[in-house]
């Protein structure tokens, strides 16, 4: 679906139906695209390239510190399908700051995670800048096995390590005017070289956002690790969001900033393709993506994607009992 179209005179202008911050960001982005003659269909959220390194080499080269004494939350101990092989979850990634294919694990090793800070501010009573090691110690760490569903219709099951987002929220105490939360990923064009020729038009840095009630939901999780160890860089070290009832793009990786705001903020994929990547982005088998069906999903496994098992997509990715009431 092309992104660039001239609205008819009887249509409502974007600025009347979209909060201003979203509108202004999108207009700047679209102006750049028009100048270059690029359409949304040319900016796919897909791409796959085989990597010469074996899974074992990748695991060895991106080994991170193991957690001691970790316990799995019994409420989220297993799902209706096996846990994805760790070697696949750490080699088949989306991280556009490091490239537009799934094989970004090597390029992502450039991410500098030393002395990492996470700034939390905006409409909160206690703005704070957490040093990542203090943040790791401050909140009780647990393991949760979640289904993970990408908007591209592939799915995994990952044992994440981390803590519920609502704990951080309670620590900074959002003010009553705060309605949304924006998450910003690390960005430095000297390091995050992007996804080829089109990435100069992308609205960097990568940002995502939730409603505050969504962040307060028990399922919303900050991951600090996976498979019993600290997050490897390609999976979004040292801190990422995991929102299991939404498509994977709603979970920003390598977070440096969290801001509580009043108006719905502009976000990365929603700015690029508002019809393709809606703000809410709840997993929904009945709402097709404009370019493909969401009725089923391919379970990431060994071999080529055409040989992967296909399963019906679950509404809210199977988490309706926890989250459906947020949308009633």
Residues lying near ligand MTE in the complex (CB under 6 A): 45, 93-97, 150, 185, 206, 235, 248-249, 251-254
Nearest to 70 by CA among 138, 141, 166: 141
Question: Minimum Å distance from CB 127 to ligand MTE?
Answer: 23
Distance of CA 326 to the CA centre of its chain: 20
Q: Which is nearer to ligand MTE, 169 or 252 (CB)?
A: 252
Question: Minimum Å distance from CB 205 to ligand MTE?
Answer: 8
Q: Which is nearer to ligand MTE, 147 or 253 (CB)?
A: 253
Q: Which is nearer to ligand MTE, 18 or 235 (CB)?
A: 235
The conformation of residue 178, written as its DSSP 8-state character, comes to -
**Main-chain dihedrals φ then ψ at residue 298, nearest 5 degrees:** -100, 130
Helix (H) or strand (E) holding 154: strand 154-164
Residue 31: CB partners within 8 Å, gap ≥ 6?
Answer: none
Q: Which is nearer to ligand MTE, 260 or 277 (CB)?
A: 277
CA distance to 139, 146, 280, 300, per residue, from 249 (Å)? 25, 15, 11, 17
Question: Minimum Å distance from CB 303 to ligand MTE?
Answer: 18
Question: Minimum Å distance from CB 17 to ligand MTE?
Answer: 26
Closest residue to ligand MTE, judged by C-beta, is: 248
Q: Quickly count: other Cβ atoms within 10 Å of residue 34's Cβ.
A: 12
Question: Minimum Å distance from CB 93 to ligand MTE?
Answer: 3
Q: Which is nearer to ligand MTE, 251 or 273 (CB)?
A: 251
Residue 69: CB partners within 8 Å, gap ≥ 6?
Answer: none
Question: Minimum Å distance from CB 122 to ligand MTE?
Answer: 19
In this structure, the strands spanning 154-164 and 296-299 are parallel
Q: Which is nearer to ligand MTE, 139 or 183 (CB)?
A: 183
């Amino acid at each position: 679906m092309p992104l660039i179209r001239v609205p008819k005179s009887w249509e409502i202008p974007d600025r009347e139906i979209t909060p201003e911050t979203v509108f202004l960001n999108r207009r700047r982005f679209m102006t750049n695209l028009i100048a270059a003659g690029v359409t949304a269909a040319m900016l796919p959220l897909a791409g796959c390239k085989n990597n010469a390194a074996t899974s074992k080499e990748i695991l060895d080269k991106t080994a991170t510190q193991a957690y001691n004494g970790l316990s799995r939350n019994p409420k989220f101990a297993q799902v209706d399908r096996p846990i994805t092989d760790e070697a696949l979850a750490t080699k088949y990634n989306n991280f556009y700051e490091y490239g537009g294919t799934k094989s970004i694990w090597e390029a992502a090793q450039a991410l500098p995670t030393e002395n990492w800070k996470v700034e939390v501010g905006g409409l909160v009573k206690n703005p704070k800048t957490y040093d990542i090691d203090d943040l790791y110690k401050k909140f009780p760490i647990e393991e949760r096995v979640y289904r993970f569903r990408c908007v591209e219709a592939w799915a995994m099951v990952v044992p994440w390590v981390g803590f519920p987002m609502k704990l951080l929220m309670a620590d900074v105490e959002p003010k009553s005017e705060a309605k949304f939360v924006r998450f910003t990923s690390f960005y430095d064009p000297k390091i995050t070289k992007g996804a080829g020729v089109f990435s100069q038009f992308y609205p960097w840095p990568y940002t995502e956002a939730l409603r505050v009630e969504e962040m307060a939901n028990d399922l919303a999780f900050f991951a600090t690790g996976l498979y019993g160890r600290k997050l490897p860089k390609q999976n979004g070290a040292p801190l990422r969001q995991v929102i299991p009832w939404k498509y994977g793009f709603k979970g920003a990786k390598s977070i440096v900033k969290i801001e509580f705001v009043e108006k719905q903020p502009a976000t990365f994929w929603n700015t690029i393709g508002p019809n393709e990547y809606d703000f809410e982005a709840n997993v929904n088998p009945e709402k097709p993506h404009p370019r493909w069906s969401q009725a089923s999903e391919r379970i990431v496994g060994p071999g080529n994607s055409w040989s992967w098992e296909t399963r019906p997509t679950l509404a809210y990715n199977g988490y309706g009992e926890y989250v459906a009431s947020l949308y009633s």
